[in-house]
Amino acid sequence: MTSRWISPLLTVAIACTPCSNTIRRVIRSPNFKSTAVVFNRSCGATTPFLTHMSINPGRSTETSRAHAVFRATAKDGVARTDTAGGPLLNVFWRGDDTLYIQFDQRATVLTQRRERSGVVVIYGHLGA
């Protein structure tokens, strides 16, 4: 009889995860057709901060994983971090459809896509 209550309770517990996104930087393409958004995602004290970088259409500053091209964690503080505790990123446009992302090579990279919606993404490492 108790098993019938476990699934609904588990669903409620998962749906109530206390995650939040904090936008760190918004960088618009030179032609304003795309927007790069760097944001940190925090899901509570027991999980590491993640730094995400999304490419959105137009001037959108949406912070969803659907648009994410890069996601990384600081690997227990080994990589250089921003003030929120996520891996430090340097992001800039090289023309209307090419985005350059620099990150600490000691970061643990979870997602690293090379293209999104016609924008080419080039990666490099931050200098020492």
pLDDT band at 15 (very low <50, low <70, confident <90, very high): low
**How many structural domains are present in the chain?**
1
Range of the domain at 31: 20-125
- Report if residue 103 sits inside a domain: yes
- Report if residue 88 sits inside a domain: yes
- Report if residue 110 sits inside a domain: yes
| Digit-coded pLDDT (tens) for 67-92 | 899 999 887 767 877 777 788 899 99
- Report if residue 13 sits inside a domain: no
The three-state secondary structure class of 117 is coil
- Report if residue 33 sits inside a domain: yes
- The pTM assigned to this predicted structure is 0.80
